[in-house]
Chain A
Amino acid sequence: MSVRTLARTDVSVVGRWWWTVDKWLMASVVGLILIGIYLTFAADPPAAGRIGADTYHFVKRQLTFLPIACLAMFAASLLSPRGVRRFAAIGFIVTIVLMLATLVFGAEVKGARRWLTLGPMSLQPSEFVKPFLAVTAAWMFAEQKMKEGFHGNLAAMALLFTTVGVLLSQPDVGMTLVCCAVWAAQFFIAGLPLFWVVLIAVAGMGCIVGAYFVFPHVASRVDRFLDPTTGDSYQVTQAMRAFQQGGLFGRGPGEGRVKEALPDAHTDFIFAVAGEEFGILLCLVIVGLFAFLVFRALTKAMKEENLFVQLAVGGLTVQFGLQAMINMASSLRMMPTKGMTLPFISYGGSSLVALGVGMGMLLALTRRRRDAEGLSS
């Protein structure tokens, strides 16, 4: 259809987009979104029942956010690399301001202030800081190499410290870890000397150990992971049973039970719902899609001739891949549980739209173009 309407010679914005965007990346994102919709119908109604809402309460909300996320993704992917850079820089500032606003106006949920209420909707600005920080930090790292006398690394460090400072005052340790990890990965890709790589790795470990001692809920989660008998590991135990029940083909659509027993079945543990109802086949398809997307994007970054684009694509990809990895690994009890959504699959409006924005920027940066098109001054 679209091929017919968009001729090779079409030079309109959309036409050029269609012929330059990476179809493989886009196809895997669409694949994930479709699986996400499918699992939303499986996992969200019991969650809605638990809070006493209408059966399709969460499904409706998720399907409301999905078009917004897709639109954001499409709009962002129309941008030129320079446009992405500007968009991310402005976005970063706006997001930091909104996060500061949550500290003042945000409602406290389970001991943290992360949400801003805007009329009927609520917004979690910290979800948006991840892609914006990745792109802005990439810009700074690239400038360090390309502009003599510009202290890009220091600027990138300042960006990170600003973000981490605000995140920890919410507090949101998980998001902080992801931001630090993505930032460190970018610094690594930007050619950090190996001595510093080792040093930062050690410092990172130090921070994780520090978080264990400073934040009691972090300590409790790690303890429960290391020794499940020390506390309530109900959710993980249920998830393990769900995977075992799933087997090769699963119990069948709608036959899953774990979604009724797990409070977070529609968010943190949706992978377990997929495993129980559709078996290992769907699980491997999901892992495969994420892996394909990550490798495809990293390969594009490797071929890239522009340092900023290379670092930005690297950063966005690491952020996306890390989030998927952490979610799947924690629901498989390979690491302590960490409230993190499975990209494009878990329920969560802010997360979905933020992922749309991030993926949009990734698609924009990986579009085929003449070298440095849109970046020359």
Chain B
Amino acid sequence: MIRVGRAPKRALFLYPGEEVRPSERPKVRLHGATKHAIDTGRMRLMVTAGLFCFAFTSISVRLVDLMLLKEPTSAPGLRTAASAPHNKLARADIVDRNGVILATNLPTVNLYADSAKIGDAKAAADKLISVLPDVKDDDLLRRLTSGQRFIYLRRHMTPGEQMSVNRLGIPGLYFEDSERRVYPQGNLFAHALGTTDTDNRGSAGVEKTFDQALSEKREPLQLSLDLRVQHAVHETLAAGIARFRAEAGSAVVIDVHTGELVAMVSLPDFDPKAVGDSPADSRFNRTTLGLYEMGSTFKLFTAAMALDHGTSKVTSMYDASQPIKIGRFTIKDFHGLNRPESVPEILIHSSNLGAARMAMDAGTETQKKYLRAFGLLSPLSLELPEVGTPQFPTNWRDINTITIAYGHGISVTPVHVVAGISSLVNGGKMIPSTVIKRDPNNIPAGTRVISEHTSDAMRAMMRMIVLEGSGKQADVAGYEVGGKTGSAEKVGRHGGYSEHSLRTSFVAAFPIDAPRYVVLVVLDEPKGSKETYGFATAGWNSAPTVGTIIAKIAPLLGVFPMGHHDTFEPLPTLIAALPNDGKNEYAKKAVASVPAMMMDELARPTISMAPMPTGSRPDTIAALIKADVADLPDVVVEEDGAAQ
């Protein structure tokens, strides 16, 4: 700027490109233009410098204002800084479906040593042992002199222990904030919740499945399990195991419309505080990981398949007198009627032959298709790491079709059974089961596996099993239980079935006119007793256990008891459709339990009963009956009262 006068010197050199221009004029023009550009540049550089001057001055003024003139607003950010790592620790709580805490954290401290900063290790070790006597002497001294900079001496100390260690005043000892997972309900949810390791990371159960969410998020994880129901089921199952001297047992309660598991108990269980000391058998979750041949319970699936596929009708008759011979196997019945039986009779008397013939009529491919639809051939999609994969023959031959029809030669978990049975009784929809609470407005629609007609027929037949068949002891007055027993011979130590050790089960739905819950109890090797007249089959142990469970949990779950009469409407129509040749004594009894009025109406010739169950809907017929008797006010009032 000062040396603008030097500009003429520029004539001494050539600019790039100048030499190729012989003409004098452009050169002069260019020279002038360049000079002009440089002068403009100088002015503009001054403006730029001015802007920078303003910026740096502003920064300096701000510095003076902030650092010298302003009063500090508060103490330095220590408080914030100190609270930050503490927040980082907290693992989110786990709560039950009503918000009761099932897993939470207790703040604790860990004691660690920096051996490089401990002066007299021997003295330090002696002092430490004086307040923490269970720390090992020789080991402690070796570790304190190891030269390591970070040695855990004790995790999760009590405040009292922390204070006494602090009072020793040993340099090189430090406390680290920590937390410990606590399960206020003890054993009750042991298998569902799972466990955490010493670093509070999930190592089993939902603690493992949701480990990341639990350690990152603050809001609690809400399970579908209900503390009250879980407790009732746990208590009843434990009492059942003791009463029938069983080895082990499991019980599951599921909501048939939402797929939510409301209770899930596997016994023996373990104390989460001392999971390391518990035997492996206790840590084993029988409800989701245990694979069992369910026995006769499976006949419900076989009947549903045969009815829905159309190869059987409720009135179809099957010969249960002649054993089936296939290859080297002979299938016999234990408690058949030795005469042709209808489908309800096959279920009531739990006829293996009948079930086998139904399955043979439907065919292997149909059986596979339906079992797959009921979810029995694939692992559970449950939010637990412990889920079992069903075992079934890869080469599915005729003999397998026959045995699987009555629940042998296929192993599934108890949760598979309740999820599958739910789809039989809820109108025919398979809804994936879950241990996480579902939003009532956002329940998965599910996939249709059987028709509503079939579902109605299944409910009617399950009710009849309880009224007339092996499930009598599961009935609860007012709660209309429908269900099915299963007694499978356990596979012995040396292979082959053992006649004397049974695994008994009972699966039930209630209330059967509009089922809300399915309950399953499995008892491992229950023994006969005087009380059971020496019997060890399901009807004598699992069935009454389920009955007790329903009696306890139905009020908790808001299921209202019915009146004195059994008002399940499809039932009378179903019974009427059965052959009544005088030998059908259970039908007489069942009919006797139906209001006389309804039987009168059934007798009316205007209502056709003939092509019954699979063709027409029983409850539609019942509705017709109801409409027909609407002109009898006294009776209708009584019936309405009962139905409420």
Contact = CB atoms under 8 A, between A and B. Distances in A.
Interface of A: 145-148, 185, 188-191, 234, 237-238, 240-248, 257-258, 260-261, 275, 279-280, 283-284, 287, 290-291, 294-295, 298-299, 301-307, 310-311, 314, 318, 321, 325, 328-329, 332, 334, 371-372, 375-377
Interface string B24-59: 001000100110111011101111110011011011
Interface string B496-513: 000000000000000000
B329 interface: no
Given A283-B67, A328-B59, A376-B13, A148 B26 contact: yes
Query: Most A CB atoms within 10 A — which of B45, B55, B59, B77?
Result: B45
A280 B64 contact: yes
Chain B contact surface mostly: helix
Contacts of A284: 60, 63
A258 B49 CA distance: 34
A341 B17 CA distance: 41
Contact of A314 (B14, B45, B53): B45
B67 A243 contact: yes
A307 B58 contact: no
Query: Most B CB atoms within 10 A — which of A148, A234, A302?
Result: A302
Contacts of B394: none
Given A245-B76, A307-B34, A377 B19 contact: yes
Contact of B37 (A190, A240, A244): A190
B77 A146 contact: no
A5 B64 CA distance: 44
B177 to A, nearest CB: 16
Contact of B67 (A246, A304, A371): A246
B30 A189 contact: no
B334 interface: no
A261 B68 contact: no
Contact of A302 (B6, B26, B45, B62): B45
Nearest to A372: B13
A284 B62 CA distance: 11
Contact of A377 (B14, B40, B41): B14
A258 B70 contact: no
A148 B30 contact: yes
Contact of A371 (B9, B30, B42, B72): B9
Query: Most B CB atoms within 10 A — which of A189, A247, A283, A294?
Result: A189
B59 A295 contact: no
Given A290-B56, A310-B42, A311-B41, 15 more contacts: A146-B16, A146-B17, A189-B44, A241-B72, A246-B67, A247-B68, A257-B77, A283-B63, A284-B60, A310-B41, A314-B41, A329-B59, A372-B15, A375-B16, A377-B17
B19 A261 contact: no
A305 B45 CA distance: 13
Nearest to A237: B77
Contacts of B7: 305
Contacts of A283: 63, 67
Contacts of B46: 302
A248 to B, nearest CB: 6
5 contacts: A145-B33, A244-B66, A287-B56, A311-B41, A314-B45
Interface residues of B, number: 53
B72 A244 contact: yes
Nearest to B46: A302
B87 interface: no
A375 B59 CA distance: 39
Contact of B44 (A147, A191, A299): A191
Contact of A147 (B9, B16, B66, B67): B16
Nearest to B19: A377
Contact of A332 (B1, B19, B63, B81): B63
Query: Most A CB atoms within 10 A — which of B7, B66, B73?
Result: B66
Contacts of A146: 15-17, 30, 33-34
A370 to B, nearest CB: 9
A332 B62 contact: yes
Contacts of A329: 55, 58-59, 62
Contacts of B26: 148
Contacts of B53: 291, 295
B12 interface: yes
A242 B73 CA distance: 11
B10 interface: yes
Contacts of A304: 38
B62 A377 contact: no
Interface in B150-205: none
Given A146-B17, A191-B37, A237-B77, A287 B60 contact: yes
